Structures are given as C-alpha cells and as structure tokens.
Chain A
C-alpha cells in the first residue's frame, strides 16, 4: 500500500461563462516510480475526464507540461511524487494565457518572443550545396548547443518577479536564446544590433537578478550567467562614445569569442 496522495488542483475554463476559478481536490494511491504525468492521467481517466492539462513527450524534453507544483514552477512529467509531500497543489503557469485548468498557451507567447528577438541566424551567405560545410571548433559547437538546450517550457518566466509584474518583459529564456546567437560566428549581428533588440527595460535591463529563473530551470541552464553576459555587452554598448574605449574593452571580457567591436 502506497501513501494516499491529496491533489489540490486549480480548475477554471475561461471560455465557460458559468465557471469560476476554484480548487478541486482529488485523492490517489501512490505507486512506486509515480510521476505527476502518471498521476494526472490517472485522475483524468478514472475520476474527472473534464480535467485539462498538457503533456507530450512525457520525458522532460518537449517542455509541454510546465506547471506550478506546490508553489514552484516545474515540469510535471519529471516530478516524481515520492519527492513531494502527501498534499500536492497544482496551478497553471502564471504570465501565460490560461486555456483551461492547468493548460496554458506557451506556444503563442514563445512565437511572439521569437519574432521580437529575431531568433534566427542572420547571414548574407547563401547555401551552396556543392561546398563543404564551414568549419567550426567543436568546443564552440558544444557551447552553442549548451545554450540551445532550452526547451521553452516557460518555468523561468513563471518564476520571474519582473515577468509577473511587467507583461512585456522578454525573460531569461529569450535572452538566453540571443546569447546563443551572440556566440555563433554564423550570425553576423553586432553588439549594436543586439542592443537595439534588448537594450531596454523590456529586454535585458528588466532583469533584477532575482535568480529564480536559474533555480527553477528544469534543464539546469546557467540562465543568469547568460543574462549577465548579455547585460554587460549591451550596457557597454549603451555607453559607447561616453566611456573610454580601453575601459570598455576591458570590461567586455565575457568569455565569448566575439570581439568588442
């Protein structure tokens, strides 16, 4: 016999005019290796078929199932119930538009952000099918991939105090994405270009260094480090012509391969 788990789950269907937001309680017997994915599906299939939530890969790779678990944003599929107390409270991620119960619209949010930060390689080179690929140092490739690991689950946004208060804040995930392009030699954007994209309080200066993004990231990405690198780069860009060049280049040292041009 496993523990008896009590789930307190946020329920609300915004499109249902008769509905009001409330918490609903479900009880479930715990089994070994039970994850929230297993538990929520069991609740839906056996107790209340109207419960809405999102899962996709159920392996912590696709980022669909971000939700607030006992107050902290996290991926439901890789949260094992044995790591949680008997009483489990589940809320949808804040900031994102609520679709129903635990399901939120991260897709639209991330698409808009992707367009805002122009999340693609900016290059003038055309692809030549006959040519060998451009060479790249493996260490750099690994570094780019490390930043590319973000699965866009939205947990860092939900945990961010700034994002909670200011709707238009880009958040750690977007800055991290740009940091990925910043170190990619295939992208020919200069610090001035990045400055134009994120050099204000809606961008990198909105970050207050609260570190929650870092603390909740399911992929353990060094988000705050990237925010720091980008902030320094953009700040130094904002004082170009004011601060002497030699100080600027000294401060620029951020461990990435871009020169302070």
Chain B
C-alpha cells in the first residue's frame, strides 16, 4: 500500500479545503489535498451568485456593517445558529473578500453615476458614489437588509476557486485527484489521517497526517431532485460519522432552493430574483406579494420554497410530464442584462431546457440545495470527538446557518471559515506531535478491503437500485413539508434499505482500472446513514424552524428546541443516537420574529443578563 505523510491532509479541494490548504502552506506546513475530481471541477465552481460581506461600497449597501450582516444571518437561521460564530464570520468576511481580491479575483467593481437597478421586478434609479469608484461592488440577495453580496459577474464560485487553485499551484501544494477518502484512521482519541481509494486503479492508499480536514461539501445526493453535483454524496460526513465518536450537527436542516429548473434540477441563481426576476403561477400571475407583501420574491429561501409548494398545492402549479412547477420570469430585465449579468442563467436555459429566457418563462420548482448540517465543529473548526480532525465549509456544521442559510453566506463561509479554521489548524500544528500507528492504518485498510470483498460477493440489490430507493424515500417523506407520520414511514423505509445494503452486489464485472459502480457501491450504505440522521432528526424535532417545516408542529418552539441536534452512529446500529446541545453559547440578538415567513413562536424562558452580550464585545 502506498502511504503518504503530511502535516495536514485536506479531504476535499473545493473553496473551503483549498482556503485552509493555502493558510497552512503559507505557514510552511506540508499539505496534501485529496479530491475525487480535479480541484477546479469541485462543486464550488457552480456557485454563481456571490459572497456576502459587509463592505458597504455600493449605494444600496451604504451604511452596512458586520453587525447588520450578523443580524441578517441570525434571523435567516431562525435563531438556530451559533451567535459567536456568526459574529466571527460577519467580522472576518470583509477581510476575506479583500484578501481574495489581492490573490486575483476579478470582483465586479463600483461604477459611479446613476444606474438602473431592480427591486421586486420594478426598476429604480440609484447613484453610486464617486469616491467608491473601483471598490468591490455588491448585489442584492434574499433575506438581507443591505445589498452586500460581492460577485464576479455570474461566476463568483468559479472565479474564486480558480484564483485559490492558482495560489495552491504557486505554493506547490500536492493535490491527489481522483482519490476517494473512505475511512478515517483514528484510535478513538486522535485522528491520524485516512485510507483512500485511488479512482484511477482501485488501489487503496494510506495517508498519515497530524491534522485532517474534512471539506467535502454537502450531501444533497441523498435526495433525487438536487442542485448538487453528482459528487456531493456526503463522503466526508460519512467518514466522520462512521468513527462512532464524531457527531454530525443538525442533519435535519436541509435547504431547498426556490429556483431549481425542471427537469434537469440545475440551479438558476438567486441573482435572478435579486435583479428583479419574479415568480409566476399557471395563470402567469405574480403570487409572492400575496404571501410576503414586503419582501415578495426576496424573502429567505425556506420561505420562498415553502410558499411555492403551498401555492402549487392550492392547484396553481403548471402541470408537466416531469411533475408540477412554477415559472420564473426575467424577460423584463432585457436582453442585454440577461446575456451579460445573467449569462450563465441564459446558457443554462438555452442549453439544458431549450428555453430562451429573453422571451420565454423558465420552469422552476423548489429543489434540494444546501445542507446546513454536517460534521459538528467548534468555532475553531475542530471536530467534536477526535483530536486533529477539522472540518470547514458546507461539510461542516460550524453553525453559521442554523436552520436556514442566507444566499451568499455559504459561498462566503467557504473562504471565511477556511481562513479562520486554517489559522487555527496552523496554531494546532505548531508544537503538536503525534505518533502514527501503522497498526491502526492497516486495520482500517483491512476493514475497507473486507467491505469491498463483501460487495464483490454480494447477491442482493445493486447500488443504483438502493440509491434510487433512498432518494425517492427522502423526496417523498422527508421533503419541504414534513409530518410525524411521513417521517416515521421514511425512517422505517430507510432502515429497511440500510439492511438491504448488507447484501449489495455489483452488476458489472470488476476489472482493473476505474470502476464507477464500485465507487458508488462503497458510498450507498453511508449515504443511507446520512439520510437516516436527517429523517430521524427531523422526526424527533417536534417544531418548525427555518427550513425544517413540520405540518403537525407549525410553531417555532424556543422553549424546548433552541438546541442543536448531534447525531452519533454506533457501529452495528440501525439508527443514529441523538444528543442535543444549546444552539448558541450566548445571545447577541435575542430570539424574536424574523420579519418574514409568518408562523407562530412559542417563546422560551426570558434570557438572563449573563446570557446576553453586546455585539462589540471582542475583536
């Protein structure tokens, strides 16, 4: 077995993983990045919209501050987030954006003078200040008081990812692509690296590292209709969960994006609505202002998604062979705007749907989009349960997003948390010594080897059948609107699927070289476990908060549920073990009404003075 050794091993080389890698490499540590695809193909590249940071350069972001950004984030999270983390994030975001500008990101800049912008489909004039000429501009995104989303045309993720990857090239960081991390090597106390499978030839490869970072993105592929890339199967979360000692946080918090296209589930950016796109029903009637008079299409994602589902349930959906959908209208923005600022949207519509958005409506429906849950870490990025294990980005539950993240906050989180966690990893590595146990590595590799042999000799269902069964179960029973009965059915079905995974078989003949079927087969049972964490967590959480909407418990219950779910998986179990911890160590913004979304709140106990802290308490 080939064995590599490094100071830090980054599993996943998207924005978060690469940002941490940059930080560690700059400090002189040896970094290896593992990734299933070449770094520039990471799903980070698909994020079009932008990154939120309170720079306040644009006229519509005038007077913005980290504190306002913080408040928007906490409200967006429906008070499910860790307020200490949200403060840290909002304070660091502007610096992180400027740093990316220094590294080479071609951010869109302020052009002084009068411009026509759109709000809720209506044009208005605003004059950008002359003194801010050439500074980073920002656009509108849902659920924010100010326009603070930094962007590069409509390819923010792509531009920032390429810039970071360029920096990795410059720093000479080793990148091992087509390498799938399967299991963490640990002794129950310390994490020492991982065993990975080389997707080029199927060989197992060992990695020893003082610090291991999980930055593998989301686990959207547990749903059938998802905007996530095919690689977003939760590999990192699975590896962490299967240690038995590392918990996953808030797995039931799954965000649906209002504008996934039909039938391909490709996301069209929130920028469409930010720039003035509207949602129409079967009668081409703009229905959102009826539900959300103030914010209309720009209410937070969970609200818009739910209102859309609600409207379709009332019979106003557009029937199609691929199920019901609604329309997104951007025609009034004009050809020039659509083919420049929203060109990616234009390309997607014409290439994948055969629709020209300049003249036609785009079919959209709420589609799984983001996993707020993930490997539970503390504010420094250190995972619970194992020393030397870190996580960042969507793979982690840092907990910036609580039960709903704001558009533009996740992309910002990648580089902001990457910067913060990277610095903490560097701090951790300084003076940290660990003895690598080859015994542990060998045992892990043998366990993986046994798993592969078992699949090769299985006689039951193939991995695609099982994966599809899981995805359909999640869509059907653990979707946007949830209730106890459905969730219980979902959990039962998933348990049965997990059981069937024991006897999974391969359809194709295993040969030397890449074997996509085996790679998938190795993932499926882990994905079912993630699905169970999601479904079971949702079943137990008897309230509605953010993206988690229970029809049988429509109130947000701050009395009993201002907590974060921690899901552990004990070896051999068929259900996760759930524990809970307070959502936030202290309150800067006490729980209240978000100002959109409606819904009743069951208030918690009045906060004591020592629970309340001011925003400007520390730097």
Q: Touch between A and B in complex, CB under 8 Å?
A: yes
The residue that B509 contacts in the complex, of A50, A80, A99, A118, with Cβ under 8 A, is A50
Interface centre among A60, A64, A145 (most CB of B within 10 A): A145
Number of A-B contacts (CB under 8 A): 202
Chain A nearest Cβ from B427, distance in angstroms: 17
Q: Are A60 and B348 neighbours in the complex by a CB distance under 8 Å?
A: yes
Q: Are A58 and B230 neighbours in the complex by a CB distance under 8 Å?
A: yes
Q: Which residues of A contact B587 (CB under 8 A)?
A: none
Q: Are B169 and A120 neighbours in the complex by a CB distance under 8 Å?
A: yes
Q: Are B354 and A33 neighbours in the complex by a CB distance under 8 Å?
A: yes
B152 within 8 A of A: yes
Chain A nearest Cβ from B482, distance in angstroms: 28
Cα(A50)–Cα(B516), bound, Å = 7
Q: Are B99 and A111 neighbours in the complex by a CB distance under 8 Å?
A: no
Q: Which residues of B contact A166 (CB under 8 A)?
A: none
Cα(A141)–Cα(B135), bound, Å = 11
B321 within 8 A of A: yes
B608 within 8 A of A: no
Q: Are B231 and A186 neighbours in the complex by a CB distance under 8 Å?
A: no
B223 within 8 A of A: no
| Given A15-B512, A133-B98, also A60-B352 (CB < 8 A) | yes
Q: Are B166 and A120 neighbours in the complex by a CB distance under 8 Å?
A: yes
Q: Are A61 and B45 neighbours in the complex by a CB distance under 8 Å?
A: yes
The residue that A148 contacts in the complex, of B101, B110, B159, B177, with Cβ under 8 A, is B159
Q: Which of A131-159 contact B (CB under 8 A)?
A: 131-138, 141-142, 144-145, 148-149, 151-152
* Residue interface mask B135-161, A partner, CB < 8 A = 1: 111000000000000001101001100
The residue that A35 contacts in the complex, of B352, B512, B514, with Cβ under 8 A, is B352
Q: Are A63 and B354 neighbours in the complex by a CB distance under 8 Å?
A: no
The stretch from A121-129, A197-205, A235-243, A245-253 touching chain B is A121-129
The residue that A56 contacts in the complex, of B43, B103, B517, with Cβ under 8 A, is B43
A62 within 8 A of B: yes
B107 within 8 A of A: yes
Q: Are B352 and A107 neighbours in the complex by a CB distance under 8 Å?
A: no
Interface centre among B46, B102, B229, B344 (most CB of A within 10 A): B102
Band of interface residues on A: 35 or more
| Given A62-B46, A110-B38, A127-B102, also A99-B514 (CB < 8 A) | yes
Cα(A131)–Cα(B514), bound, Å = 49
List the A residue with the shortest CB-CB distance to B40: A152
List the A residue with the shortest CB-CB distance to B47: A61
| Given A57-B43, A61-B46, also A137-B109 (CB < 8 A) | yes
| Given A35-B264, A61-B45, A99-B513, also A56-B102 (CB < 8 A) | no
Q: Which of B430-466 contact A (CB under 8 A)?
A: 462, 464
B492 within 8 A of A: no
A84 within 8 A of B: no
Q: Which residues of B contact A144 (CB under 8 A)?
A: 106
Q: Are B106 and A141 neighbours in the complex by a CB distance under 8 Å?
A: yes
The residue that B134 contacts in the complex, of A114, A118, A129, A137, with Cβ under 8 A, is A137
Q: Are B516 and A133 neighbours in the complex by a CB distance under 8 Å?
A: no
List the A residue with the shortest CB-CB distance to B37: A56
The residue that B104 contacts in the complex, of A44, A51, A120, with Cβ under 8 A, is A120
B592 within 8 A of A: no
B507 within 8 A of A: yes
Q: Are A48 and B508 neighbours in the complex by a CB distance under 8 Å?
A: yes
* Residue interface mask A101-123, B partner, CB < 8 A = 1: 00101111011001100111101
Q: Which residues of B contact A61 (CB under 8 A)?
A: 45-46, 158, 344
List the B residue with the shortest CB-CB distance to A59: B266
Cα(A56)–Cα(B201), bound, Å = 19
Q: Which residues of A contact B159 (CB under 8 A)?
A: 145, 148
Q: Are A138 and B110 neighbours in the complex by a CB distance under 8 Å?
A: yes
Chain B nearest Cβ from A151, distance in angstroms: 7
Chain A nearest Cβ from B527, distance in angstroms: 16
A1 within 8 A of B: no
Q: Which residues of A contact B165 (CB under 8 A)?
A: 114
Q: Are A59 and B352 neighbours in the complex by a CB distance under 8 Å?
A: yes
Interface centre among B104, B153, B159, B344 (most CB of A within 10 A): B104
B617 within 8 A of A: no
A184 within 8 A of B: yes
A52 within 8 A of B: yes
29 contacts across the A-B interface (CB closer than 8 A): A13-B513, A16-B512, A16-B513, A19-B511, A45-B464, A49-B462, A49-B464, A52-B513, A53-B516, A56-B43, A59-B266, A60-B348, A61-B45, A62-B43, A103-B514, A105-B200, A110-B40, A120-B166, A121-B166, A133-B102, A133-B107, A134-B102, A135-B134, A136-B106, A141-B108, A148-B152, A148-B155, A148-B162, A149-B155
Known: A59-B348, A120-B167, A132-B98. 8 other contacts (CB 8 A): A48-B508, A49-B462, A62-B42, A78-B351, A114-B165, A120-B170, A135-B135, A149-B155
Closest 6 CB pairs between A and B? A135-B134, A107-B38, A50-B508, A49-B508, A49-B507, A15-B513
